Amino acid sequence: MSRAPAEVVPAEVVPAEPVIRLDGVGRSFAGPPPVTALHPCDLTVRAGEYVAVTGPSGSGKSTLLHLLGLLDTPTSGRYLLDGIDTGELGDRERSTLRGRRIGFVFQSFHLLPHRTAEENVLLAQVYNRTPRERRLAAARAALRQVGLGHRLDALPTTLSGGERQRVAIARALVNDPSLVLCDEPTGNLDSANAAAVLERFDRLHAEGYTLLVITHDPAVAARAGRTVRIADGRLDGPAPDRPAAR
Ligand code: ADP
Ligand code: MG
């Protein structure tokens, strides 16, 4: 059997799907009174980008984060995560996609109070089908990575704010997510712990993680590669790195 000559296409010339692509995504609440929390917007975030989203209180930052995190669904437009059209997924598929591909870091940490640090990180691997021993090893490695290898059995109430946020970061990273979403991650931390979290994010960015951080703190936004502003539910123009149409 003869073979057609192989057409060799180097991997680097094949454009990768953006991690985030929003096409006209908006979110309204029926009310009363009706509220347009996010006007239809476009946003592209590519793998390895570190993006800050800034805007005043009530401008729609959390609404955007909930949509990006598949915790909420848009009332208009299309959201592609890693090229997957999330509007076409059922609830279970959405949950699985969220669990496998997205890590969250929230202002108030959102740790389960009666579970140890190790259990909190282990529970984030519910969508991971590897054996428990492997998941446990991954949880411990993630906690060691954030400098908490000596506090595996600690309950969140016995940890400082900075340590709790590090557990949350370990939990966000344990599944090697495509996207790490953070909502005011330094909002409940003193300046020393906030600085430590920002250093951690710098390192994650250097390691190639894709980070989107919501913040009203200019010091946080200054660390990101790009800042997207939001005011009155309106996102500023399209991403500057969006490739020109061919
Ligand atoms: P931010 O995080 O920037 O402070 P939010 O995204 O939380 O702002 O809110 C944006 C706007 O949408 C606000 O006017 C808020 O009151 C409104 N909003 C948010 N969630 C809801 C909801 N579930 N029902 C009605 N209005 C909401
Ligand atoms: Mg908010």
Secondary structure, 3-state, 86-102: HHHCCHHHHHHHHHHHE
Residue that has been written with the tokens 């680097």 in this structure: 12
- The percentage of the chain sitting over the pLDDT mark of 90, rounded to a whole number, equals 71
Residue 146 falls inside a structural domain: no
**Residues 194-229, buried b or exposed e (16+ Cβ, 10 A)?**
bebbbebbeebbeeebbbbbbbebeebbebbeebbe
Tell me: the pLDDT tens digits for 170-217? Answer: 999 999 899 999 999 988 888 888 888 899 899 999 999 999 999 988
- Closest ligand relative to 29 C-alpha: 1
Q: Above 80 in pLDDT, residue 11?
A: no
Q: Which two tokens stand for residue 14?
A: 């094949």
Which phi and psi angles does 154 have, rounded to 5°?
-75, 140
pLDDT of residue 10: 60
Domain extent at residue 70 = 20-110+177-236
User: How large is the average pLDDT for residues 33-37?
Assistant: 94
Residue 240: pLDDT above 50?
no
How high is the pLDDT of residue 9? 57
Ligand 1 pocket: which of 62, 67, 184 to mutate (most atoms within 8 A of CB)? 62
In a domain, 157, yes or no: no
Query: Is pLDDT at 237 greater than 50 in this prediction?
Result: no
pLDDT score recorded for residue 42: 97
126 within some domain:
no
Which residue in 208, 215, 211, 209 sits closest to 229, CA to CA?
Answer: 215
| pLDDT top residue among 12 and 210 | 210
Rounded to whole angstroms, what are the CA distances from 212 to 7, 88, 134, 242?
A: 37, 24, 28, 16
* pLDDT of 219 above 90: no
Ligand located closest to 39 CA: 1
Quote the pTM value.
0.87
Cα 66 to Cα 1, 43, 101, 227, 245, distances in angstroms: 54, 15, 14, 18, 29
pLDDT for the residue 244:
41
- What is the 2 CA–ligand 2 centroid distance (Å)? 62
- Does residue 159 fall inside a structural domain? no
List of residues 6+ apart from 240 with CB closer than 8 A: 226
| pLDDT score, position 12 | 61
Total count of domains within the chain: 1
**Cβ neighbour number for residue 81 with a 10 Å cutoff:** 24
Residue of the CA atom closest to atom 12 of ligand 1: 37
Q: What is the pLDDT of residue 8?
A: 60
The residue behind tokens 């060691």 is: 144
pLDDT value, residue 60: 95
Q: Which residue lies with its CA nearest to atom 25 of ligand 1? A: 29
**Inside any domain, residue 36:** yes
- For residue range 69-91, what is the model confidence (pLDDT) as tens digits? 999 999 999 999 999 999 999 99
Residue 14 has pLDDT above 70, yes or no: no
Given this model, what pLDDT does residue 6 score? Answer: 53
Nearest partner of 213 among 201, 199, 195, judged by Cα: 201
- Residue 156 located in a structural domain: no
Q: What is the mean pLDDT of the chain?
A: 89
Do 140 and 171 touch, CB atoms closer than 8 A? no
Query: If you search the block for the tokens 């704010």, which residue do you land on?
Result: 161
State pLDDT tens for residues 117-140.
999 999 999 887 888 999 999 999
The CATH number for 48's domain is 3.40.50.300
- Indicate which residue's Cα is closest to atom 22 of ligand 1: 29
Pocket around ligand 1: residues whose beta carbon is below 6 Å from it?
29, 35, 37, 55, 57-63
Report the separation in Å between the CA atom of 34 and the middle of ligand 1, taken as the mean of its atom positions. 11
Phi then psi for residue 195, to 5 deg, are: -65, -40
Q: In angstroms, what is the span from residue 38 Cα to ligand 1's centroid?
A: 9
